[in-house]
């Protein structure tokens, strides 16, 4: 449902709400990376994005995509402040 809201209906706010509901029901779910992407790309809340990437990595240390996305975000933030 969250994926469809974001991908097909361009409703990132509804996608975020849906993903956060998933986390409430299953805190170990693998949606933290998706939540972080919504915060980063659509809401421009980089601090929240960083928190959710880090949470994904803590829960699923083999998730290479979360590491890559967090690294990209950190490099972007460094470039913005140079």
Q: Render pLDDT for 5-46 as a digit per residue (tens, 0 to 9).
A: 766 567 888 889 999 999 999 999 989 999 999 999 999 999
Write out the two tokens for 61: 């240390």
Q: What span, in angstroms and rounded, lies between the C-alpha atoms of 29 and 10?
A: 23
Tracing tokens 């991908």 back to the chain, one arrives at 7
pTM for the full predicted model: 0.86
Residue 11's nearest CA partner among 38, 45, 49 is 38
pLDDT at 82 over 60: no
């Amino acid at each position: 449902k969250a994926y469809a809201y974001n991908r097909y209906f361009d409703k990132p706010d509804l996608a975020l709400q849906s993903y956060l509901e998933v986390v409430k029901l299953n805190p170990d779910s693998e949606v933290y990376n998706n939540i972080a992407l919504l915060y980063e790309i659509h809401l421009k809340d980089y601090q929240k994005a960083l928190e959710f990437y880090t949470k994904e990595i803590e829960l699923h240390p083999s998730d290479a995509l979360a590491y890559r996305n967090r690294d990209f975000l950190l490099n972007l933030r460094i470039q913005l402040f140079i």
